[in-house]
Structure 1
Amino acid sequence: MARYRESDYESSFRGIEKGSATIMKCFRAMPIWLVVASPLAAASASAFAADAVNAPSPAEEGGALLIRGDVAKAVTTYTSALKDTGIPNDRRATILNDRGVANVRLGETKAALEDYNRAVELFPEYPVAYNNRGNLLLALGQLGEATKDFDRALVLAPGYAAAYSNRGNAEMKIGKPEAALADFTKAIELMPASAPPLSGRGLAYLAVGKPHAAMRDFSRAVSADARFASAYRNRAEARMAVGQRDEAIEDLSRAVAFDANNGELYVVRGYAYLLAGNTASALKDFSRAIELDPKSSAGYEGRGLTNGVAEAFDDAYADLNRAIELDPRSPVAFAFRAYVYKQNSQQDIGSKDVETAIKLDANSPEALWARGEIEEANGQADTAIADLRQALQLRPSWQFASDALKRLGAATDDEDDKPVPSLDIAKWHVVLHGRDYFATSEEYPQIRVPLEMTGEGVPMLLAWDVQKPPYAGYGILRFSGGHVRGKNGDEDTELAAIIDIGAGKVMAIEPHRQGTRVAAWTWDGDRLQIASVDGVTDEYQLRPVNVAVVGNRDQAYDAQRAERQQRRSKPKSIFEFLFGN
């Protein structure tokens, strides 16, 4: 499923925040024109400004048309501007760049590539054209060439935030999330309030198994741009990874509100509903995705599985047959049809579909899960458990595999927690599970804190603080985050897990210290604000606080304790028992 935001193309009019002397020199070579400190966004206006008393030049008119969204007319106007044989090469390059941006918007990729090629040929020191050409090459799948263009843009303009962010996108597609993290972080340092690099770094954190860090960046992205649909969508994925299904569905609903004709969002929300046991809403979303795109194999796959779960077998077969017709090489469609056959007591036929799915992709979590289901039905418990565990390793949020393991009386993996007492503090213990560290406590057995590291080292626990009333339902577990490279050499880091004790969950994991910089925490009413060490303020919603009892700490504490006890004693529903966090 596509998760990347549209690439960041920039026109010459926008300028570059914190740009280098090189790029500013190329702008000074032109007549005086307005330079805007821009966020990372799609393009802008024309190459250069004329004297205020003169009529707008064709290039200026093209820029104004581009801003208004009249893209086709902008291309025509830029083409007219290029007919002036007296234009210097640097100015001609900026107009070509802007026409390239307009051609990208029109889907004329060949024409856009020709414009960018000509622009860098005429003006080899023009970083914006390299950045834009890199984005186009990235979209065309030419990852190596795209990276070279971003490299060139950054040599010319070391402060070019967009190029760092876009190179991070390239590195993600190449499969280098660690390198992408460094580039996105640099872009965020240059433009801390820009949504795309924050969302990009969130994706990189997801790729390296740090969903809480990812959620923090996605939250920052939507704070910077409340209409940034893909950041809501991506945060939903991170929330699904940590079992926050209701919150994930809420995020996906926000994304749909801002991008109502995006079928992929309905597919993702459909799966979120399905995994939460809401088949009716899942069917509506998958059907809506199909309405938007009748050739959406993903929509048919999801609806087919949902119908299978609901035991509407004829509808399930029809949907999955259509999915396979649309995409014969999709392991997902074959895997889901195998599961439906198994649900309909036809596991022998399902076995053939599973074999096909595995041949298409031996590492498909859906195929491994379906094979585990077939093996369970055939009484092959040991092989079923192995396949189901592997499916969960590849997709931890796939609740169906977890449910199957519970039916078989097996744990979700075959690795036991290994205590690391040297990292413990009073009441809290560190365990190593595979390659990951977690904090556990006998006092709070339902809480398991993933100790996501920032840098190199091990997560030694430092302190556990339950907040004073009226926030006694929250605790802060601080731990070392390893050392990172700072401006003055290696710096130690410290992280803080915010724990909602009453709800029994980890709300967030925040950077608390890096070197001499320490975050500032403000508990104010029903909100917690954290001025982080990287210069960005994060905010978290708390349960409503009775501020009238703040002065009476004993009364406030009793109220918080009563609330926790009431929550613990409240009986769980069948759904919560089976699928709860």
Structure 2
Amino acid sequence: MKSFRAFPVWLLMASPLAGAPALAADAITAPSPVEEGATLLIRGDAEKAVATYTAALKDTGLPNDRRATILNDRAVANVRLGETKAALEDYNRAVELFPEYPVAYNNRGNLLLALGQLKEAMKDFDRALLLAPSFAAAYSNRGNAKMKLGQSAAALADFTKAIELMPASAPPLSGRGLAYLAVGKPHAAIRDFSRAVSADARFASAYRNRAEARMAVGQRDDAIEDLSRAIAFDPNNGELYVVRGYAYLISGNPASAIKDFSRAIELDPKSSAGYEGRGLANGVAEAFDDANSDLNRAIELDPRSPVAFAFRAYIYKQNGQPDIGAKDVETAIKLDPNSPEALWARGEIEEANGQADTAITDLRHALQLRPSWQFASDALQRLGAAPDDVEDKPVPPLDIDKWHVVLHGKDYFATSVDYPQIRVPLEMTGEGLPKLLSWEVQKPPYAGYGILRFSGGTVHGKNGPEDTELAAIIYIAGGKVLAIEPHRQGPRVASWTWDGDRLQIASVDGVTDEYQLHPVNAAVVGSRDQTYADGARAERQQRRSKPKSFFQLLFGF
């Protein structure tokens, strides 16, 4: 059996999968300079790797396919050195010498993607997949390209194909999570990001992205824990501190927010985002002089930032100077009419000036653009207004028993008079309507949990159209949706195992998901109010009886 050996298999985006064309049999044992170059790349010494590959290429007796693989590897090393022009030249030469080499097309596509040449990158990924239809990394990379082109739905299909081929690989799982976020399915995104970090516990970007998804569904404490994990693995990434700073701020903890924004500024003294965030946090803490100093510095660093002007406008309003703030709001809106921060700040100024109707319009627009922006929600609550002016439209044909489906704008939700605080987003998998199928409260000791199954629509399977079902795991005692899981696709059905304080689900796509549970007392079944009380009590008792170490707090064990 022929196989590749002349490129670094440690690099996902450069590794071939089943179906890639093979080299000649004598490629099984690579020349020592090539092996040495691969070892140097693995160790992170890209400069020496380039020199080693260059020396290997001086061999005039190399066959074209062998020379192409060495050029590909030298290009990988040059990319790591930031020598993009040299890398592109090596990739071009590699595909010229060996036109049926899918790895070089895939790698060149990645470089073109990084350089912003999206259409050319797409051509390379298409070519790689034409040559190697089972090249999982190329599917994942093409999904990334489609995301940058704004083709989120098409990207989902590519990421899904990559996951089918490489179910334990973190990058395509994280990529599909981002695609789900883009199409408004945060619970599906959380599921994929969780799978990504299970596949690679040190995958910092997946923790960061899961935090964003969790913020979208109001899981703020969990989001902060995720960002703490990401920071533990990437402690010098200032952007992570900025994101966690906002998470703290929105959660009502300005002191911790200020610390994070300050750390971001320490890492990068020219971080306008760090000064913007710290300025707002200082304003919330009523340290107005510090707030103005930070925001003035942010504007100095980035005079075209609508965020800095919007935040300074809010600080003026909080300090009793809405007229001065109105000038900053005008500047912010001119810089970006669709900035959620600018729209929120204008709403705050309008509220201060007694213009309630226009304030409500701006605040709702801000929330539409950024649903997790709690400041806009708080302002609307002060004004006695709902988050939007869209009314729920009942869809009785989709109901069951005491659960009802409503259409809110373009989104479907399930509601119940028995659990008025729970609103289940019916995130579809395929085409169709989310018909409710069943509601089941679990038996003791899991009586605080219920499973709401609903139709997930029709998808294209290997043998044609397949119906799907999804299951919303509802933590009744906590009044929230824990997760939404694929339960059935065609003939495949998920396997659920309730074991102690864990729920394991062997999903229809071959991946096992796991959730932490809080079992409740068996005697509470049938008593809604008592279920809530005992569930909360169980949580408190669990926290008291099992004190956590710093390591456990940091990593969520």
Q: CA deviation at 1:376?
A: 0.9
Q: What letter matches 2:26 in structure 1?
A: P
CA contact (8 A) 2:524 2:531 kept: no
Counterpart for residue 23 of structure 2? 28
Q: What letter matches 2:383 in structure 1?
A: L
Counterparts of 2:16 and 2:70, CA distance in 1: 21
Residue pairs, 1:45-194, within 5 angstroms: 49-50=29-30, 57-194=32-169
| Residues 556/566 of structure 1: CA separation in 2 closer, same or farther (3 Å cut) | closer
CA contact (8 A) 1:529 1:538 kept: yes
Q: CA deviation at 1:331?
A: 1.4
Counterparts of 1:91 and 1:226, CA distance in 2: 36
Q: CA deviation at 1:565?
A: 2.8
Counterparts of 2:354 and 2:535, CA distance in 1: 40
**1:245 to 2:196 alignment:** no
The CA deviation string for residues 204-261 of structure 1, in whole angstroms up to 9 with x for no partner, is: 0000000000000000000000111111110000000000000100111011111111
Counterpart for residue 552 of structure 2? none
Q: CA deviation at 1:485?
A: 0.9
**1:282 to 2:257 alignment:** yes
The CA deviation string for residues 6-35 of structure 1, in whole angstroms up to 9 with x for no partner, is: xxxx98242756422xx23xx3325242xx
CA contact (8 A) 2:272 2:298 kept: yes
Counterparts of 2:323 and 2:361, CA distance in 1: 20
User: Any stretches of 5+ residues in structure 1 without a counterpart?
Assistant: 1-9, 34-48, 51-55, 547-553, 571-581
Q: What letter matches 1:220 in structure 2?
A: R
The SS at the match of 1:104 is helix
CA contact (8 A) 1:338 1:370 kept: yes
Counterparts of 1:85 and 1:325, CA distance in 2: 58
Q: What letter matches 1:31 in structure 2?
A: D
Q: What letter matches 1:447 in structure 2?
A: I
CA contact (8 A) 1:203 1:214 kept: yes
Counterpart for residue 531 of structure 1? 506
Q: CA deviation at 1:449?
A: 0.3
Give the counterpart of 1:565 among 530, 533, 551.
533
Give the counterpart of 2:7 among 6, 9, 12.
12
The SS at the match of 1:511 is strand
Counterpart for residue 473 of structure 1? 448
The CA deviation string for residues 378-427 of structure 1, in whole angstroms up to 9 with x for no partner, is: 11111110111011111100000000000111000001111111111111
Q: What letter matches 1:487 in structure 2?
A: K
Counterparts of 1:562 and 1:420, CA distance in 2: 31
The SS at the match of 1:28 is coil
Residue pairs, 1:63-462, within 5 angstroms: 63-462=38-437
CA contact (8 A) 1:180 1:204 kept: yes
CA contact (8 A) 2:207 2:230 kept: yes
| Residues 534/17 of structure 1: CA separation in 2 closer, same or farther (3 Å cut) | farther
Count of aligned pairs between the two proteins: 530
Counterparts of 1:325 and 1:347, CA distance in 2: 22
| Residues 344/185 of structure 1: CA separation in 2 closer, same or farther (3 Å cut) | same
CA contact (8 A) 2:518 2:535 kept: no
The CA deviation string for residues 497-534 of structure 1, in whole angstroms up to 9 with x for no partner, is: 00000000000000101111111111111100111111
Q: CA deviation at 1:355?
A: 1.6
Q: What letter matches 1:533 in structure 2?
A: V
Question: How many percent identity over aligned positions?
Answer: 82
Counterparts of 1:12 and 1:155, CA distance in 2: 20
Q: CA deviation at 1:176?
A: 0.9
Give the counterpart of 2:495 among 506, 520, 537.
520
The CA deviation string for residues 346-372 of structure 1, in whole angstroms up to 9 with x for no partner, is: 222222221221122111111111111
The SS at the match of 1:479 is strand
CA contact (8 A) 1:185 1:201 kept: yes
Counterpart for residue 555 of structure 2? none
Q: CA deviation at 1:57?
A: 2.1
The SS at the match of 1:502 is helix
Q: CA deviation at 1:560?
A: 10
Q: CA deviation at 1:335?
A: 1.2
CA contact (8 A) 2:520 2:535 kept: no
Q: Single out whichever of 344-353 and 253-262 deviates more from structure 2.
A: 344-353
CA contact (8 A) 2:153 2:179 kept: yes
Counterparts of 1:562 and 1:349, CA distance in 2: 52
Counterparts of 1:74 and 1:312, CA distance in 2: 53
Counterparts of 1:561 and 1:30, CA distance in 2: 72
Q: Single out whichever of 447-456 and 317-326 deviates more from structure 2.
A: 317-326
The SS at the match of 2:26 is coil
Counterparts of 1:172 and 1:57, CA distance in 2: 40
CA contact (8 A) 2:6 2:66 kept: no
CA contact (8 A) 2:477 2:534 kept: no
Deviation beyond 3 Å, 4+ runs, structure 1:
15-18, 554-563, 566-570
Give the counterpart of 1:489 among 450, 455, 464.
464
The SS at the match of 1:438 is strand
User: Any stretches of 5+ residues in structure 2 without a counterpart?
Assistant: 539-557
Counterpart for residue 39 of structure 1? none
TM-score normalised by length of structure 2:
0.92
The CA deviation string for residues 254-290 of structure 1, in whole angstroms up to 9 with x for no partner, is: 1111111111110100000000010110000001011
| Residues 346/28 of structure 1: CA separation in 2 closer, same or farther (3 Å cut) | same
Q: CA deviation at 1:195?
A: 0.2
